[in-house]
C-alpha cells in the first residue's frame, strides 16, 4: 500500500546562489514602469557575500515549511544526475520531505539560479531545464492536499495531467501559486488548473496581470480571480500586508511586527503561502490561517535564504501567542 501524505508539493527545485551586491543602484525605467537594477557595464564589480542554498524554489520551500510544521509531506519535482542533485536529495532527507516522487534526469544538470541581493530585495537570474517528471495522475488517493507552483516553460502538457488528476479526485484540494512561466501561459491555457484550484496565491501585480487589467483595486481583483474558479484567493501586497477572500468574506491582514530590519525578502511570499496553506491543511478557517502566514514571512526575512527561517509548529505558536493584541484580520 502506498504512503499517504498530508501534502504533496509540485514544482521545480533549484540551487540558489545568493550574491550580496555592494556597488549597484536602482533606477526607474519609465518605458516599462518598473524599477531596474543597474551596475557598471564591462567592469569588475566587488560583491559583499556569497551564500549557496540547496533545494529551494516555490514548491520546494513550501514542502520544507510544511514538513517543519509537522505535516507528512512529499514533493513531485525533477533534478539532474549531478552533485547538486545529490545535495538536494540530502536536504530533503534531512528535512523529512519524501523523495518518492523525485525524478532524476541522469544526463542533465540540476537547475541553478543566481540571486542578486541588494537593499533587502532580490533580482533572480533563472533557467529551468527541460526535465521528465513523475506523472501526477499516479498519485491516486495518496494525499488530501496539493501545492502547485513554479515549473519550467515546456510543461504545458504536465499541467493537463495535474488538471486530469484533480478532475478524477475532487476531494483533493489544491493550492496554486503561479510562477513566472505559468503566468506567461495565461489564464486561458491554464483554465482547468484555475478551475480546480481551492486556494490561489498571487501578489497584487500578478493578480492584475492574470486578469489582463491595470485596475489593482482589491475587491475588483478578488471578483475576477474567483470567477476563474478558486474558492479562496490570497493577494499579498509586500510589506503593506495581505488580503484573503472566500467569496463571501474578505479580510486584510497586517504584517507581524519585525523584531529588526529584514536582511533579505527572498522567500517571504513562499513563507506566507506556507503559513496560510498549512493552516488550512490543519483545518483552520481563512481568518485563523491569515494569522499564521505573516509570522512565517517575518521570520524568514530575518535570514539569508528562503528556508533558513521557516518555523516549527511550536515556534510559530509561541510567536502567535506573543503577537500584539491588534494582530488579527480585519474585514474589508
The H-or-E segment that residue 66 falls in is helix 58-68
Q: What is the pLDDT of residue 266?
A: 74
Pick left, alpha or beta for residue 305 (phi over 0 → left; psi -120 to 50 → alpha; otherwise beta): left
Instruction: Supply the pLDDT for residue 221.
Output: 98
What is the per-residue burial (b if ≥16 Cβ within 10 Å, else e) of 92-101?
A: beebebbbeb
Backbone φ, ψ for residue 10 (5° rounding): -130, 125
- 305, 265 Cβ separation under 8 angstroms: no
The predicted pLDDT at position 1 comes to: 55
Q: What is the maximum span of the chain, computed from C-alpha positions, in angstroms?
A: 59
pLDDT of residue 34: 82
d(CA 19, CA 167): 43
Here the cell at position 314 is 511550536
Cβ pair 280, 267 in contact under 8 A: no
User: To the nearest whole number, what is the mean pLDDT of the chain?
Assistant: 94
Provide the b/e sequence for 135-173 (b: ≥16 CB within 10 Å). Answer: ebeebeebbebbbbbbbbeebeebbebbbebbeebeebb
Average pLDDT over residues 46-63: 93
Whether 203 contacts 234, CB under 8 Å: no
Q: In whole angstroms, what is the distance from residue 15 CA to residue 88 CA?
A: 8
pTM confidence score:
0.91
Mean pLDDT of 114-127: 85
Of 22 and 320, the structure prediction assigns the larger pLDDT to 320
Reported as a single tens digit per residue, the pLDDT across 189-232 is 999 999 999 999 999 999 999 999 999 999 999 999 999 999 99
Q: Once rounded to an integer, what is the mean pLDDT over residues 269-291?
A: 97
* Distance between CA atoms of residues 241 and 196, nearest Å: 27
Residue 163 has pLDDT above 80, yes or no: yes
Per-residue pLDDT tens over the stretch 1-24: 578 999 999 999 999 898 989 888
Per-residue pLDDT tens digits for 97-112 = 999 999 999 999 999 9
Residue spans of the domains in the chain: they are 5-14+56-112+130-331
CATH of domain 5-14+56-112+130-331: 3.40.1190.20
Q: What is the pLDDT of residue 18?
A: 85
In this prediction, residue 53 carries a pLDDT of 86
Q: Is the pLDDT of residue 121 over 90?
A: no
DSSP 28: E
Band of pLDDT at residue 257, cut at 50, 70 and 90:
very high
The whole-number pLDDT of residue 88 equals: 97
Other CB atoms closer than 10 Å to residue 72's CB: what's the count? 16
Residue-wise pLDDT tens digits, 262-274: 777 778 899 999 9
Amino acid at each position: 500500500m502506498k504512503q499517504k501524505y498530508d501534502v504533496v508539493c509540485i514544482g521545480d527545485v533549484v540551487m540558489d546562489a545568493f550574491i550580496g551586491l555592494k556597488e549597484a543602484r536602482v533606477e526607474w525605467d519609465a518605458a516599462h514602469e518598473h524599477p531596474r537594477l543597474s551596475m557598471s557595464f564591462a567592469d569588475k564589480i566587488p560583491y559583499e557575500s556569497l551564500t549557496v542554498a540547496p533545494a529551494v524554489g516555490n514548491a520546494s520551500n513550501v514542502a520544507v515549511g510544511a514538513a517543519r510544521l509537522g505535516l507528512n509531506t512529499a514533493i513531485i519535482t525533477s533534478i539532474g544526475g549531478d552533485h547538486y542533485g545529490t545535495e538536494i536529495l540530502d536536504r530533503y532527507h534531512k528535512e523529512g520531505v519524501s523523495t518518492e516522487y523525485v525524478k532524476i534526469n541522469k544526463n542533465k544538470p540540476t537547475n541553478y539560479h543566481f540571486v542578486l541581493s541588494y537593499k533587502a530585495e532580490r533580482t533572480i537570474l533563472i533557467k529551468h531545464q527541460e526535465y521528465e517528471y513523475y506523472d501526477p495522475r499516479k498519485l491516486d488517493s495518496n494525499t488530501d492536499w496539493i501545492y502547485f507552483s513554479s515549473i519550467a516553460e515546456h510543461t504545458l502538457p504536465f499541467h493537463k495531467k495535474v488538471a486530469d488528476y484533480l478532475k478524477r479526485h475532487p476531494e483533493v484540494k489544491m493550492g496554486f501559486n503561479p510562477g513566472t512561466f505559468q503566468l506567461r501561459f495565461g489564464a486561458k491555457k491554464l483554465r482547468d488548473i484555475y478551475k480546480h484550484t481551492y486556494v490561489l496565491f498571487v501578489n497584487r501585480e500578478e493578480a492584475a496581470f492574470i486578469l489582463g487589467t491595470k485596475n489593482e483595486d482589491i475587491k475588483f481583483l478578488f471578483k475576477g480571480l474567483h470567477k476563474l474558479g478558486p474558492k479562496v484567493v490570497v493577494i499579498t501586497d509586500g510589506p503593506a500586508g495581505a488580503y484573503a477572500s472566500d467569496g463571501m468574506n474578505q479580510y486584510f491582514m497586517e504584517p507581524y511586527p519585525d523584531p529588526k530590519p529584514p536582511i533579505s525578502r527572498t522567500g517571504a511570499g513562499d513563507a506566507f503561502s506556507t503559513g496560510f496553506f498549512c493552516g488550512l491543511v490543519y483545518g483552520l478557517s481563512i481568518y485563523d490561517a491569515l494569522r499564521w502566514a505573516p509570522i512565517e514571512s517575518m521570520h524568514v526575512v530575518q535570514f539569508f535564504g528562503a528556508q533558513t527561517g521557516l518555523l516549527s509548529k511550536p515556534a510559530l505558536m509561541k510567536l502567535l501567542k506573543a503577537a500584539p493584541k491588534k494582530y488579527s484580520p480585519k474585514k474589508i
